[in-house]
Amino acid sequence: MSAKPEFPGGVYAITPETADTARLLAQVEAALAGGVAAVQYRDKSADVARRHEQASELAALCRRFGVPLIVNDDLRLADLAGADGVHLGRDDGSVREARIVLGPGKFIGASCYQSVELARAAQSAGADYVAFGSFFASPTKPDAGRASLDLLREAGPAVHVPLVAIGGITLANAPQLLDAGADSLAVLSAVFDAPDICAAARALNQLFEIESEE
């Protein structure tokens, strides 16, 4: 059995919450066509049937593009839907428990907010990537605590799994996060609220190509 690859750097698209499954799939397909490196399914609704249908359909869609689908905050759904991993917040269970359930071949990410210590602990527990934020004002989580660019600079030498930046990221402010050491940019509005989702994803993706050339 081949080793699991490292969680991919690049644009990490977080899905908008909607009851319109066909529209959601079309939006995500446009983002995938624009070159996003990973997709996170995020739906906080209580509609269990809808969430299972959407996660399963998205897992199949992402598989066609060779891109991992990560389920936000719901380990059981990630397992049942055949997703490629789960992303855990502070109150969503432990990384170790998720590893037992999902096995060694799936990705586990952890929200570490504004704490390098949380990131080190998550890494020790077996997380495949850690996420910091919110770096900028976010319409998705307007009350989220704010992280600084210095946090990424501090985390770089201390944490040896990919660093994901999240929170209010746009094409204009993304370069400073990459300069500070972010490996991946988690975005929702910057992609899915754009008039052309594919073009928005492609524009963000090009920032990583520029970064790799420098």
Tokens at 67, concatenated: 């891109």
Residue 161: count other Cβ atoms within 10 Å of its Cβ.
19
Q: What is the 3-state secondary structure (H, E, C) of 152-204?
A: HHHHHHHCCCCEEEECCCCCCCHHHHHHHCCCEEEECHHHHCCCCHHHHHHHH
State in Å, rounded, how far the first CA of the chain is from the last one.
35
DSSP class per residue in 43-65: ---S-HHHHHHHHHHHHHHHHHH
Question: Can you tell me whether residue 108 is helix, strand or coil?
Answer: strand
Closest to 61 (Cα-Cα) out of 95, 94, 34, 25: 25
Question: Can you tell me whether residue 21 is helix, strand or coil?
Answer: helix
Alpha carbons 125 and 94: distance in angstroms, whole number: 8
Annotated catalytic residues are 42, 111, 141
Alpha carbons 207 and 72: distance in angstroms, whole number: 25
Closest to 7 (Cα-Cα) out of 159, 164, 105, 129: 129
